Amino acid sequence: MSDFYEIFDTALGQSAPPDAQRAAAVVDVVSHRVRSRRRARAATMSLGGVLGIGVLGLGIYLVDPRDADADAGPAASGSTSHSPHVSPSGDASPSASARADSWWASPQAGSFVVATPREADGGTRLGLTIILPDGTLVDAGAVEEPYTKVSAWTPAGLLLTQGSKPRQTALWSGDTGTLSDVTPLGESSSVIAVVGGHVVLSTLPDQGEGAQTRRQLSVAMSDGEVDLCDTGDASDSSLTLSPDGKTLVCLEPVDAHQSNVIVATVNPQIAVNQVATFTHPASDYTRIGWVSDTELLFARALAQGYRYFTLDTSTGTWSDTFLPGDLDGTLPVLDQSTGSYVVSSWGNAVAYDAAGTVLGEVPCADNKPVVVMAQARALIACQTSEGTHLAQINLQDGTVHGANGEAPLLTLTVGFPQVMSYLAPFDPR
């Protein structure tokens, strides 16, 4: 067998040059998209000038003129009204099977939404099931294709996206059983959140010198976009929306070694601030999830285990805890409220309390289960030859539902489910 250089060279030389017609088509498409992108960029720059976006020497961004510190940077001026770019009832005319349920109006903390393909009426639909904290199942309806993924669970509803290109996004409001279009501005953008009526876009922008991997986060306005931050290598895991839907956090690389924590809040104007700097690259941090409306949990692998950071995104202060662990294994999923955690391995998921004592176990023969945490409850998804079984471990008392002789909470036979937890707002009422 040849060495790697020869093997790769062989693979590289496989494709024949395009014929003239194909080459012309590629040049046409690329040229057209280049012109569109230049026009969009010009519009964005113009909009930024009107809104008075200040970029300060310390890396602090102020979008809201009312928050601007006169001593801290360029004076902000101009319009303060931000028109949301949500376009309900767009051209795509999405449809869904309406299933109004009063539960949607007041979702409960610690609930899970499970999305999985369903065969119905001769076609495939995206079926949505809610698992309440006590294990009760709520059929939340099914959405017709092409919507195949749940991107986020926001107070406004579930954000659904197509799996194909160009990606269409829609907001599924379960309480009214309606599906509204939320269409990104450009083909290379995808909607990742709806914050206070504003659509937040994630875009693969032009590559800068050196062609670094980056993803740009921006808020769509009526006639353009306002940039929030550029993410680095860990783009997917570095963008997150708080449970109350008012705070958006991303990690922006400073260099190859450090990353800034950028926080965008909507109240109702948009303010963007750098609240902290992580001393390692963004890619070193795994986002575990929100533990309150303002506190976000990260983990970083160390030589002997994992360090978990609870970052208060409103102040930039943080606390940390260490869990010993095997670096070859899966990151333990920590429940910050109890200090308990769940470790998924081939064959089972085991819950431990803060002292390392076993609380409960869900077996998963010949597989490594997926663990999703929501307020001291862990949902365990175990894939078997019969389908995916779901079970739940209560980390406060160690009780297990849906395993160890009990029938699974739910068995899904088509595809592997997407599971998302819902953390209710910490309402002072």
Partner 1 sequence: MENAATLERLVAERYGRLVSYARLLTNSRADAEDAVHEALISTFSRPRRFDNVDACEGYVRRAIASRAMDGHRKRSREARALVTLRSDARQHVAAVETSLAEADALHRALAGLSPRERACVTLRFVDHLSVDETARALSLATGTVKRYVSDGIAKLNAALGTDQDNAEPVAIIVQGGRSQ
Binding site for partner 1 (CB under 8 A): 1-5, 7-18, 20, 22-23, 26-27, 29-31, 33-34, 37-38, 41, 149, 163, 165, 188, 204-207, 210-215, 232-233, 235-236, 253, 256-257, 281, 283-284, 415-416, 418
Beta carbon nearer to partner 1, 37 or 99: 37
Minimum Å gap between C-beta 253 and partner 1 is 7
Looking at residue 67, what DSSP letter applies? G
284 three-state secondary structure: helix
User: How many CB atoms are located within 10 Å of the residue 7 CB?
Assistant: 11
Q: 212 or 345: whose CB is closer to partner 1?
A: 212
Single-letter amino acid code for the residue at 33: R
- Residue placing its CB nearer to partner 1 in the complex, 129 or 173: 129
Q: Kindly tell me which of 253 and 369 has the beta carbon lying closer to partner 1.
A: 253
Q: Shortest distance, CB of residue 46 to partner 1, whole angstroms?
A: 17
Query: Of the two residues 4 and 71, which places its CB atom closer to partner 1 in the complex?
Result: 4
Q: How far is the CB of 232 from partner 1 (least distance, A)?
A: 6
Neighbours of 188 (CB within 10 A): 19
CB of 250 to partner 1, least distance (A): 14
SS (H, E, C) 369-380: CEEEEECCEEEE
Least separation in angstroms between residue 282's CB and partner 1 is 9
CB atoms within 10 A of CB 392: 25
Helix, strand, coil % in the chain, rounded to nearest 5: 10, 45, 45
Q: Which is nearer to partner 1, 51 or 115 (CB)?
A: 115
Q: Provide, rounded to whole angstroms, the least separation between the CB of residue 94 and partner 1.
A: 20
- H and E: helices and strands count for the chain: 2, 32
Q: Is the peptide bond before 166 cis (omega within 30 degrees of 0)?
A: yes
**377/30 Cα distance (integer angstroms):** 49
